[in-house]
A and B are shown apart, each in its own frame.
Chain A
């Protein structure tokens, strides 16, 4: 849990930086940062498939 927790802390810090650089409309893409953080924590094939499905959903909403 500790390593995962540390990754999460780093991810939160990067997210904060990206929010500082925010220019709107996924620029920078903080949602993707959160998805990648999630994927980096549980990096199995099934999880990749789930993330891809969420990306497809996002793409169809655009």
Chain B
């Protein structure tokens, strides 16, 4: 037994011995523990007086222990452990010696509460070591799983299905918009054609009367000039018959004039054709003017084509696509179909030569079905008109060349006739020459009139001046009927339909962009799926996953995306389940720790909070305490009259049992006071006696038993210990008490051996602050 002054470190010494014997007497984050780590430093503990061994020695530095997060001491905590001079482990020490501290001021309530707190500390420490975020076995698993998930990407069946459905819906919407746009465009075109008919009719009505009169005037002039020519021809024939001197000359003149007339007729026809063509184009039959017009038309066509490309890229794109797909097909024929042709670093989309060609053909078909915008259609029509004018202008050039050719032939024929006349005309030669000159002038006039008539006829229209207006009026009436428009509403209706067509085109463009965007999204996710599948198949970091899944990967490039996705999704699903399990486990540990602390609070009677696992753990700890009460030695000390099972209900903080007189209950607090406190101590000692595989040597320290002195129960306790010692040779029991007696005064009033004994105690207290009494030598 030790009696000591307060604050000399009695309890600290006991707890240090507990640490050396391999048990943790402190709460991990308690102030007392922190004070020990920081305040003690290097220490050496030596224990002798043991059974089977002579000496145990420990050397350690408490400042080293800061780095350990174990909930129990381990061999590594000590710089040196020796048993009889030989290096030893803490496990070996545990088998040689154990230290048990029973606090007298600690009732059943606090013992139970501390039990829950200690278990909470164990869970917390284990969690910190095995499940901490950043560095722990759990974290290393989570890191590997996270890496695997990252390698596989975030493709999922749901996401893929969602994108495919979006693409399908967008395509349907686009097709509907295309159909609607075409219907609206047709209505607009119908009204535009009707408007055009009316414009032409108005133009015909405005110009026909003047042109017809002018044509009649030209026809009359032609008749007049032809009659004059006939007269001249007859006069020429008469004179020529009279003056002819030789048959060969007459024949030559006749032939020359016949050839001249034939070529002049052809010249007349060619000039009429050219004039009609020129009139249609608003040109004269002049080479320079025609060429200038051609130049202007070519420049206009170039400008229109550029505008067309800006407004409607489809024709240019289709031309480009047809050119490129031809070359891609050739590459496929050379065995390059599986080679990567497109590699977009932004979207990470890779396409083979075959995929690129198929995609281009698909695009070509799509563009083919694309209606151009109203503006683009107008441009196309303008371009067609310019092209037609160009064709006509170039034809006019050919016609002018024909005119010039016949002009040259007529000139040559005229010269031939002149030569014939000069050779054989004689005295009548001057008369014949005069007649011929006149005939030539008449012919020239006829040529001019014929050309003028052709131009007028062209301006009056190809259907003929008499039927054009009526025919156009009939066409307009039919067109208005088809379009369902009154003529008075034509302008307004066209404006409305044109506007509607523009809006429909804008909607079509939006729908097309949406459809294209969703198709791109599908292409991207399909590329991701193929990449994820290849990664799952080949990546060295995923070997464990392949082995664990134990299913073969689709390897052929012909495998469809859904099949690949199913494989990747299977792996991803497994990874997610594991990650969820690991994450849930960390949460479970934290919840169990919280619940244990809550059990401690409830046992102490503090305000209860609803915490997960509390009911289960309260029952579990209550069950352990029930087991303790049902220990025969404990029942003998605390509940000698109990029959059957003793039950501890932590929810009511009561002990329940049966006696012959009926059911009984007692609050837990009752076991910490009065006679029950003594019984409770005896019960705790009894439980130590029940320990399985106890150490060879046990030091049992009864600390803080001052209250026993106050209640005069110390002698009873010492008597119990003496009695117990005879049955426990391996146990050494130390009772630690506060110094409560004035031994100096007692020594002064005593005599003999008693005075000497008491003085010895006084000397010990003076020298080291405590005195030791050996109760059992």
Interface residues of A (CB under 8 A from B): 2-3, 5-6, 9-11, 13-14, 17-23, 26-29, 32-33, 36-37, 39-40, 43, 48-53, 55-60, 62
Chain A residues closer than 8 Å to B140, beta-carbon distance: 39, 43, 48
What are the 5 closest A-B residue pairs judged by CB atoms, nearest first?
A20-B620, A56-B548, A53-B548, A39-B137, A49-B544
- Verify B592–A21 contact, CB threshold 8 A: yes
Interface CB pairs A-B, < 8 A, 18 = A2-B74, A2-B91, A3-B75, A6-B74, A10-B70, A10-B125, A17-B122, A20-B619, A20-B620, A27-B588, A32-B585, A39-B141, A48-B140, A48-B144, A49-B543, A52-B141, A53-B544, A58-B581
Chain A residues closer than 8 Å to B33, beta-carbon distance: none
Chain B residues closer than 8 Å to A14, beta-carbon distance: 122-123, 126
Known contacts A9-B72, A49-B544, A56-B545: A2-B89 contact under CB 8 Å: yes
- Verify B620–A59 contact, CB threshold 8 A: no
Chain A residues closer than 8 Å to B545, beta-carbon distance: 52, 56
B97 to chain A, nearest CB (A): 16
Tell me the chain B residues, 584-616 only, with Cβ under 8 Å from chain A.
Answer: 584-585, 588-589, 592, 595-596, 613, 616
Cross-interface CB contact of A21 among B70, B74, B578, B620, cutoff 8 Å = B620
- Verify B621–A20 contact, CB threshold 8 A: yes
Total chain B interface residues with beta-carbon distance under 8 A: 47
Interface: B12 (CB within 8 A):
no
Main secondary structure of the interface of A (DSSP, over half): helix
Query: Which residue of chain A has its CB nearest to the CB of B91?
Result: A2
Interface: B582 (CB within 8 A):
yes
Chain B residues closer than 8 Å to A40, beta-carbon distance: 129-130, 137
Q: For the complex, what is the distance from the CA of A28 to the CA of B582, rounded to whole Å?
A: 11
Chain B residues closer than 8 Å to A39, beta-carbon distance: 137, 140-141
Chain A residues closer than 8 Å to B616, beta-carbon distance: 20-23
Q: For the complex, what is the distance from the CA of A56 to the CA of B620, rounded to whole Å?
A: 32
Chain A residues closer than 8 Å to B619, beta-carbon distance: 20
Q: For the complex, what is the distance from the CA of A49 to the CA of B547, rounded to whole Å?
A: 10
Chain A residues closer than 8 Å to B203, beta-carbon distance: none
B92 to chain A, nearest CB (A): 8
Q: For the complex, what is the distance from the CA of A10 to the CA of B129, rounded to whole Å?
A: 11
Q: For the complex, what is the distance from the CA of A15 to the CA of B747, rounded to whole Å?
A: 58
Query: Which residue of chain B has its CB nearest to the CB of A37?
Result: B130
Query: Which residue of chain B has its CB nearest to the CB of A20?
Result: B620
- Verify A59–B589 contact, CB threshold 8 A: no
Interface 1/0 per residue, B66-77 and A, CB below 8 Å: 000011101110
B18 to chain A, nearest CB (A): 16
A16 to chain B, nearest CB (A): 9
- Verify A6–B70 contact, CB threshold 8 A: yes
Q: For the complex, what is the distance from the CA of A26 to the CA of B244, rounded to whole Å?
A: 139
- Verify A59–B71 contact, CB threshold 8 A: no
Q: For the complex, what is the distance from the CA of A57 to the CA of B543, rounded to whole Å?
A: 15
- Verify A56–B122 contact, CB threshold 8 A: no
Q: For the complex, what is the distance from the CA of A52 to the CA of B499, rounded to whole Å?
A: 66
Interface: B119 (CB within 8 A):
yes
Tell me the chain B residues, 329-355 only, with Cβ under 8 Å from chain A.
Answer: none
B63 to chain A, nearest CB (A): 20
Q: For the complex, what is the distance from the CA of A34 to the CA of B589, rounded to whole Å?
A: 14
- Verify A3–B76 contact, CB threshold 8 A: yes
A26 to chain B, nearest CB (A): 7
Interface: B511 (CB within 8 A):
no
- Verify A28–B585 contact, CB threshold 8 A: yes
- Verify B589–A21 contact, CB threshold 8 A: no
Chain B residues closer than 8 Å to A60, beta-carbon distance: 549, 574
Q: For the complex, what is the distance from the CA of A43 to the CA of B143, rounded to whole Å?
A: 14
Q: For the complex, what is the distance from the CA of A3 to the CA of B596, rounded to whole Å?
A: 26
**Could you list 10 further interchain pairs (A-B, Cβ under 8 angstroms) beyond the known A28-B585, A53-B548?**
A3-B76, A10-B125, A14-B126, A17-B592, A18-B588, A23-B613, A33-B585, A55-B141, A55-B578, A56-B544
Q: For the complex, what is the distance from the CA of A17 to the CA of B588, rounded to whole Å?
A: 12
Interface: B145 (CB within 8 A):
yes
- Verify A36–B122 contact, CB threshold 8 A: no
Chain B residues closer than 8 Å to A59, beta-carbon distance: 574, 577-578, 581
Tell me the chain B residues, 524-554 only, with Cβ under 8 Å from chain A.
Answer: 543-545, 547-549
Q: For the complex, what is the distance from the CA of A58 to the CA of B580, rounded to whole Å?
A: 13
Most chain A beta-carbon contacts within 10 A, residue among B130, B131, B616:
B130
Q: For the complex, what is the distance from the CA of A16 to the CA of B373, rounded to whole Å?
A: 78
Known contacts A23-B616, A29-B588, A40-B137: A10-B122 contact under CB 8 Å: yes
- Verify A28–B588 contact, CB threshold 8 A: yes
Q: For the complex, what is the distance from the CA of A48 to the CA of B145, rounded to whole Å?
A: 11
- Verify A20–B141 contact, CB threshold 8 A: no
- Verify B91–A5 contact, CB threshold 8 A: yes
A28 to chain B, nearest CB (A): 4
Interface: B701 (CB within 8 A):
no
- Verify B91–A10 contact, CB threshold 8 A: no
Interface: B83 (CB within 8 A):
no
Query: Which residue of chain B has its CB nearest to the CB of A13?
Result: B122
Known contacts A29-B584, A56-B574: A10-B617 contact under CB 8 Å: no
Query: Which residue of chain A has its CB nearest to the CB of B549?
Result: A56
Interface: B138 (CB within 8 A):
yes
Chain B residues closer than 8 Å to A57, beta-carbon distance: 548
- Verify A2–B90 contact, CB threshold 8 A: yes
Chain A residues closer than 8 Å to B144, beta-carbon distance: 48-49, 52
B76 to chain A, nearest CB (A): 6
Q: For the complex, what is the distance from the CA of A56 to the CA of B138, rounded to whole Å?
A: 15
Q: For the complex, what is the distance from the CA of A26 to the CA of B592, rounded to whole Å?
A: 13
Interface 1/0 per residue, B540-582 and A, CB below 8 Å: 0001110111000000000000000000000000100110011
Q: For the complex, what is the distance from the CA of A54 to the CA of B484, rounded to whole Å?
A: 78
Known contacts A5-B91, A52-B145: A43-B76 contact under CB 8 Å: no
- Verify A29–B585 contact, CB threshold 8 A: yes
A43 to chain B, nearest CB (A): 6
Chain B residues closer than 8 Å to A26, beta-carbon distance: 581
- Verify B75–A32 contact, CB threshold 8 A: no
A51 to chain B, nearest CB (A): 6
Q: For the complex, what is the distance from the CA of A58 to the CA of B89, rounded to whole Å?
A: 38
- Verify B72–A32 contact, CB threshold 8 A: no
Query: Which residue of chain B has its CB nearest to the CB of A43?
Result: B137
Q: For the complex, what is the distance from the CA of A25 to the CA of B544, rounded to whole Å?
A: 26
Known contacts A40-B137, A49-B543, A52-B141: A28-B621 contact under CB 8 Å: no
Query: Which residue of chain A has its CB nearest to the CB of B616?
Result: A21
A21 to chain B, nearest CB (A): 4
Chain A residues closer than 8 Å to B70, beta-carbon distance: 6, 10
Chain A residues closer than 8 Å to B544, beta-carbon distance: 49-50, 52-53, 56
